[in-house]
Structures are given as C-alpha cells and as structure tokens.
Amino acid sequence: MLLHVYPDGRVYLKKLEHNVERYSKTPVAGIVVLGSTGEAIMLSDEERREVLRTARHSCAPHKVLIAGTGAESAIETLRLTEYAADFGYDAALVRTPHFYRPQMKPAALLAFYRTVADRSPLPLLIYSVPVFTGYDMAAEMVIELADHPNIIGIKESGGDAAKIRQIVEGTRHIKHTATVTETFAAVTPRMLKADSTSSSNEDAEFRGPYGDGRRRPSGDPGTSGRNAGTRNI
C-alpha cells in the first residue's frame, strides 16, 4: 500500500484511509501495509503503529491484511508483530536485517528468523529485497527456513528466476493447509474467529431469552418485545 505524506513530512493518514477503503472494494484478496512502497524504513516507531491502526480500521474485514514488521533486531521485529496481531492482522512480512552486513552470515540469519517465528503470534512471510537491502538471501537458507511451521512463504523480490526455481524445487515436500471459500477466496483464522463470534451472537438472539425462540412478555426489561431473528447464510 502506497504511503502519502504532507510537504512537511507528516504521514497523510486521511489519504491512507481513502486508499485502503478504495482497494477494499476491489477484487484484490488483501493488502500489504508497511511494505517497500509503504516507506516503513522512513517512519518512526509511532508512525508505523499509526499506519497499522489506520489501515486496520479502514480495511474491509474480508480482506487479508499483511503487516510489514521487519526491523534490524529480532526484539523490535517481535514488538511490532505483536502490535499488528493485537489489531487483527493476518500475517507479518519480515524483511532481512541488513545494516551489519559483514555479520549477516547464514547462521545469524537463520537464528534471526527462527527466533521471530518461534515467538510470533502471526505466521511469517520472509521478505528478500536485495535492491534495497543490498543483501540477497541464499536459496539454501530459504529452503532450510521453510521447514519452520510458522514460516508460510516468501516475497522474493530479487528477480532471479533460477533462484526461485531452486526454492520451489527444494520446498515441494512442505505442505501447509489453508481455508478458502468455494471460489478460493482466502479465509484467515481472524475471519473464522469473527464469523464464529457473529454466529454465536445471532444464535443467542434466535434462541431468545428463554432459549426456545419465544418473545419476552410485553414490558419485560431490555427486549422491546421484538421477534426472534434468523441467520442469513
């Protein structure tokens, strides 16, 4: 999701609301917030949180929401990931740390992603974007991390077709399950939870205060004598 700013550098949150609401009305399955075009690297911690809040409140509930939460440390990555989870995001997009490139050996990257994946309340997508980070994550590392149950995919932006082919071949044995509708629209655990809560509330309304669909007697507090409702499927 593209981020707009005022001439003085402040985040244009109203424009973000407009864009999220607009895309919520299109056929796209979901929205990525704080990706590269979201200029997350240029924002303060509080601005990133404001953007996550604004996008969540403006997005249609049936759209998948992915939060860009990557930072240079596993601790900061987890803090923002936990914040996104609290607001109902569905997955976290975690870019490769890159500032201390001489130390970014395979063991360090594996430890970083495994630490985040072990503790993250959201499933993770690895984000490899060497054009910006200057660090190209090796296919062997991606294949090794793919075995982690909380790492569900990768956004590979390096443009190396041979590398992508190697990753595909090296991860064919890994299986993940996903819930979809009959038209293959995505259904995330957040959506299932919300649907279950809504169904429970509607069932309670249908049963009525006496558990059998009867109306309360006229004048009984809190009912206004309304008829029991039915659920539309």
Q: Do 162 and 51 share a domain, yes or no? A: yes
Catalytic positions: 155
Q: Give the model confidence (pLDDT) of 124-158 as tens digits.
A: 999 999 999 999 999 999 999 999 999 999 999 99
Average pLDDT score over residue span 161-185: 87
Query: Phi-psi bin for 43: left (phi > 0), alpha (psi -120 to 50), beta?
Result: beta
> Does residue 9 have a pLDDT over 80?
yes
Q: Side-chain half-sphere of 164: how many Cα atoms within 13 Å?
A: 10
Do 152 and 211 reside in the same domain of the chain?
A: no
Provide the pLDDT for residue 232.
36
For 231, the domain range is 188-216+226-233
Give pLDDT, residue 113: 98
Instruction: Identify whether 5 is part of a domain.
Output: no
CA angle 220/224/228 to nearest 5° reads 100
Q: Are residues 192 and 170 in the same domain?
A: no
CATH number of the domain to which 129 belongs: 3.20.20.70
For residue 201, what pLDDT band results from cuts at 50, 70 and 90?
A: low
The answer to the question of residue 6 being in a domain is no
Question: Is the pLDDT assigned to residue 60 strictly greater than 50?
Answer: yes
The answer on 97 and 203 residing in a single domain is no
72-120: pLDDT as tens digits: 999 999 999 999 999 999 999 999 999 988 888 999 999 999 999 999 9
Looking at the structure of the chain, the number of domains it has is 2
In a domain, 4, yes or no: no
* Phi (first) and psi of residue 139, to 5 degrees: -60, -35
